[in-house]
Amino acid sequence: MTPSCRHCASPLTQDFLDLGHAPPSNAYLSVEDLDRPEVTFPLKLKVCRSCRLVQTEDFAAADELFTRDYAYFSSTSRSWLEHAARYVEMICDRLSLGADSHVIEVASNDGYLLKNFLPRGIPCLGIEPTESTAKAAEALGVPVLQAFFGETCARDVPKSDLIIGNNVYAHVPDINDFTRGLARALKPEGVVTLEFPHVMRLVEFGQFDTVYHEHFSYLSLLTVERIFASAGLRVWDVEELPTHGGSLRVYGCLRSASRLETPNVARLRAVEAERGMGDDLFYDAFQETANRIKDDVLRFLMDAKANGNSVAGYGAAAKGNTLMNYAGIRHDLMPFVCDAAPSKIGKYLPGSHIPILSPDLLRENRPDYLMIFPWNIAAEIRAQNADLAEAGTRFVTAVPRLEVTG
């Protein structure tokens, strides 16, 4: 059967990317798991020719991906914490939020953002399905409703002046139900802000490693406006952000709200149209880009091994898991990956079964090359490991092209 678009139900007949089979990218393994069968799913993307939503074929359910021991904690990245703090300062000023306001963050993770509202005396609520991160947020004093957000969940939360969704809109399997939930939970003049990677930048910079099962959708302003309209919402402002290799922050409100549309919206509509995002050709060559990057990484690792040079990885990130599983990288080419998150140290990467170690080990076993998988925070990681560079280690990133520095 031909799959249907998760937004408009049109037949999905255009391929975008096929990365073969892979396990969920955040399904880290314990040592006991290594001798057990590991579940993998096809990792394929299609483009809807009607609404231009880029989307996975559905093989994994959300509750199989976002489990109680989910290992991604937003507070691990200093730059992301700073991004969240700047956002809170900006949005409180722009919307004149105060003690009489109410704020919701959907997918609030470990409280990395909502904790900034607490000292301002602004009531807030996090909605987070994973137990591990929800408990971390509650320990900070952030109230959390542990649930998947959608229209049904929205009936049980206070109407809000602001609803925040940072890097969650791409993660929901039923994007229509989620969007209707946003509309239901808003006050008449309330605002929703959503941040998500811009599919225009994904194509432009070859960011195929941001494709994984947890990302059900890959979004543009073109598509989001159509999804919003179907739920009684409209976009009234948009910003382009540098986060995650190029993201959008869309500002939405109810269709009936009095907010005026800013010139930013028309400007970005024109840019997307100029790039051809409404046409098939824009999406056709992405498979070739992914294959080139994969081949370059494999060639580098095999050459390093042949020359007797050691290579370690940094960042047990979903990006790295996608790249390594598509390329078939295993222990012989990369014996270990380091990560600063205590929740990941001592575990093993899904698929490749490469061990995750503490960054402290890099000082004891200094590698000739350190491959940084979360390239979006590569500058932060290089700065944290400047002593390795001084001792001779060179840093490697793979996307959008292989680069060796240091």
**Domain limits for position 340:** 286-405
Which residues fall within 8 angstroms of residue 277, CB to CB, at 6 or more apart? 52, 199, 200, 220, 222
CA distance 317 to 324: 11
In this structure, the answer to whether residues 197 and 115 fall within a common structural domain is yes
Number of domains within the chain = 2
In this structure, the answer to whether residues 126 and 235 fall within a common structural domain is yes
- Classified as helix, coil or strand, 115 is helix
CATH number at residue 369: 3.40.50.720
Would you give per-residue pLDDT tens digits along the chain (406 residues)? 679 999 999 999 999 999 999 999 889 999 999 999 999 999 999 999 999 999 998 655 544 544 444 446 777 778 889 999 999 999 999 999 999 999 999 999 999 999 999 999 999 999 999 999 999 999 999 999 999 999 999 999 999 999 999 999 999 999 999 999 999 999 999 999 999 999 999 999 999 999 999 899 999 999 999 999 999 999 999 999 998 889 999 999 999 999 999 999 999 999 999 999 999 999 999 999 999 999 999 999 999 999 999 999 999 989 999 999 999 999 999 999 999 989 899 999 999 999 999 999 999 999 999 999 999 899 999 999 999 999 999 999 999 999 999 8
In this structure, the answer to whether residues 214 and 357 fall within a common structural domain is no
In a domain, 167, yes or no: yes
CATH number at residue 126: 3.40.50.150
In this structure, the answer to whether residues 233 and 331 fall within a common structural domain is no
CA distance 207 to 218: 11
In this structure, the answer to whether residues 127 and 270 fall within a common structural domain is yes
Cβ–Cβ < 8 Å for 382, 390: no
